[in-house]
Amino acid sequence: MAPIKIALVGIGKIVRDQHLPAIAKNSDYQLIAAASRHGTVDGIDNFKSIEAMLDAVPAIEAVSLCMPPQYRYEAARVALDAGKHVFLEKPPGATLSEVADLEALAASKGLSLFASWHSRYAPAVEAAKSFLASTTINDVQVIWKEDVRHWHPNQEWIWAAGGLGVFDPGINALSIVTHILPRPLFVTKAVLEFPENRDAPIAASITFTDGQKLPVAAEFDWRQTGKQSWDIVARTAAGEMVLSEGGAKLSIDGKLVHEEPEQEYPMLYRRFAEIVKAGKSDVDLAPLRHVADAFMLGKRKFVEAFHD
């Protein structure tokens, strides 16, 4: 089969660090164009808007949308209306309703829509899922704390309404938890900390449970300094499981049992090629639903102003 002619929209740090290398190493793709207000990609045609790109390069078969979530719906709709398959960076949109609308539009046109959750493809995630399926889980703790100044310097969009704030990294944890636990979760309580000068939270404490009353607690914080914390800890009948470093390592009772090199974005693009070839979509909204529920149930707590 000929490679999928793909285009990138929104050329920023994540594209340069992850998307470009993953596409370059995958023979299922041929990158032929890019659109971005500020960035460009060497060796291909570049445009200032997705509309201009699609008009000028009709050979494009799929687009990967990597702009902030507040702007992704309009771009996705333009691409789907033009008959292109669509890859959505995480989170897939600013609201559940708009992603549901895109899913319905893709289905009506026989196109593939992919809500990509890169952390689900971390090396030890499947091993953690298998371990938890084999035992009784007593409780789960999620500790996802990082330094926003390091990971998102001067990115004002992430603090705006719809930018999700600390849930931008926190949704990575939720994408893993909703994948590895055996039953669906729901939020029971949340406290969201908002800086006085921002429209999105800098920290969140959330409690969840499931149909069998499993206690699950999550702590998200963007004020971490020093070593970053991306851990999921489960106390089980077979010992304490720690899925650490964002899903890269799995330990049971302190013994490392699974570790592999990181291949998250290459696996995402492999999955996208699979669904395009199969003529189907992959749109799991569970992680985004939990963020929405946290905002619905959450008590707002205002903290001191944040400045980069």
The set of catalytic residues is 90
Cis peptide before 182 (omega within 30 of 0): no
3-class SS of residue 142: strand
Angle 286-297/167-180 helices, nearest 10 degrees? 120
Question: How many angstroms separate the CA atoms of 250 and 132, rounded?
Answer: 12
Question: How many angstroms separate the CA atoms of 177 and 291, rounded?
Answer: 13
241 - beta bridge partners? 234, 252
Residue 140 tokens read as 């789960």
Picking from 92, 97, 294, the residue whose alpha carbon sits closest to that of residue 200 is 294
CB 215 within 8 A of CB 186: no
Question: How many angstroms separate the CA atoms of 190 and 204, rounded?
Answer: 7
3-class SS of residue 33: strand
H helix runs in the chain, sequence order: 13-14, 20-24, 50-56, 72-81, 96-109, 125-133, 148-151, 167-180, 264-278, 286-297
Report the 10 Å Cβ neighbour count for 51. 15
Chain center to CA of 68: 12
242 - beta bridge partners? 233, 251
